[in-house]
Chains A and B, each alone.
Chain A
């Protein structure tokens, strides 16, 4: 398999900047941060986007201004993008396929009489 022409640009969304494509970013550019927001107590933090900031404190403050102007959140997580490691979409098949043939993991696999209640 010739993968030479598969260019990868691992910026933004899924981090790993250092492993990424051509970067013309000068040293002066603030690092990139991925922003996760909990919209309501009881819910998970969800990825909402990214932004640049000099440090974590500033990333949180900017995230408040950029992503929660309409009360979209009650809690913010920031993670520097380069610290996020992602699975490779080219390996998706091998990675997720084994789950396909294990239908017995689903409750609908089991054939039980209709009289059986509360199960």
Chain B
């Protein structure tokens, strides 16, 4: 069989909605694209624990603390499902960690913004997890089997993340004047970074066409972004708050909301490492990895010792 035939067979499978599994032939570019996307996604889940983790010890009640703990623990799980999915493509876990720690791999820029008040935890749940869900639901049908299966698991868990965030904001929005102000302020700060989470607009993302052809992606960045804006523009009314966009207006003709221009300069700035918390986030990750080294070594030593003992007993 020639490469050409293999590629045809591969594309036929994709077109017929037959999932690609780890041992199947796949174009090298497909494998590379997936490794990059899945590992980036995994890194985002892991780094994403940091901004919210900041508030676990200071949650306003035991109920909120328990909820936040459970959510952050879920995010760790999401990272693990995704790392495992990426490993089926032939990259090792340590290699991925290495790429993250050396800054070679990116993670979602949203996590380079600080969480200044308790209301930020609510805004993250509603907007950041909300945007993530928009992205992730179509990924449950992505063409690579292990990735799709990981996303099914992730999506099942995400919905509580968004609901708890909205609920936290709802409480603030019905509270004192100060609490209302805090709520609006958090929405004001998290709105635009959340809108940017969908990535560059379609004419700026040259890889989209190929990703769509391979059905890694099923909607373009702009399609998903529009969906997100439409949904949030309605939801914010229930909070009695506003979104910080004077151009946000229902467009009867299109059946969608029009919205203002996105500050792409800020986006690229944060992507390239100049966001408010890039250094802090990466330093925290690296420190956690380094501080865990002795635990990893001790566990390996313990496992080896036990194996040796069992071997002696068996002999």
Task: List, in ascending order, chain A residues with CB within 8 A of B24's CB.
Answer: 89
Which residue of B is nearest A3, CB measured?
A: B1
Does B93 have its Cβ within 8 Å of any Cβ on chain A? yes
Name B90's contact: one of A6, A21, A52, A88 (CB within 8 Å): A21
Contact across chains for B307 and A11 when beta carbons are under 8 A apart: no
Tally of contact residues, B, Cβ under 8 A: 41
Contact across chains for B87 and A54 when beta carbons are under 8 A apart: no
Contact across chains for A50 and B296 when beta carbons are under 8 A apart: no
**Chain A's nearest CB lies how many Å from the CB of B105?**
14
Once the chains are docked, how many angstroms separate the CA of A30 from the CA of B1?
38
Once the chains are docked, how many angstroms separate the CA of A36 from the CA of B297?
26
Once the chains are docked, how many angstroms separate the CA of A89 from the CA of B299?
36
Chain A interface main SS type: loop
Task: List, in ascending order, chain A residues with CB within 8 A of B33's CB.
Answer: none
Task: List, in ascending order, chain B residues with CB within 8 A of A7's CB.
Answer: 28
Does A104 have its Cβ within 8 Å of any Cβ on chain B? no
Task: List, in ascending order, chain A residues with CB within 8 A of B149's CB.
Answer: 49
* Residues of A8-30 whose CB lies within 8 A of B: 8-14, 20-26, 28-30
Contact across chains for A51 and B94 when beta carbons are under 8 A apart: no
Name A54's contact: one of B6, B85, B145, B300 (CB within 8 Å): B300
Contact across chains for B94 and A6 when beta carbons are under 8 A apart: no
Contact across chains for B299 and A1 when beta carbons are under 8 A apart: no
Given contacts A6-B25, A13-B88, A55-B306, contact A28 B297 (CB under 8 A): yes
Which residue of B is nearest A26, CB measured?
A: B94
Shortest Cβ-Cβ A-B pairs, 3 listed: A9-B90, A12-B88, A55-B303
Q: Which residues of B contact A (CB under 8 A)?
A: 1-3, 6, 21-25, 28, 31, 70, 73-74, 77, 80-81, 84-85, 87-90, 92-95, 145-146, 149-150, 153, 157, 296-297, 299-300, 302-303, 306-307
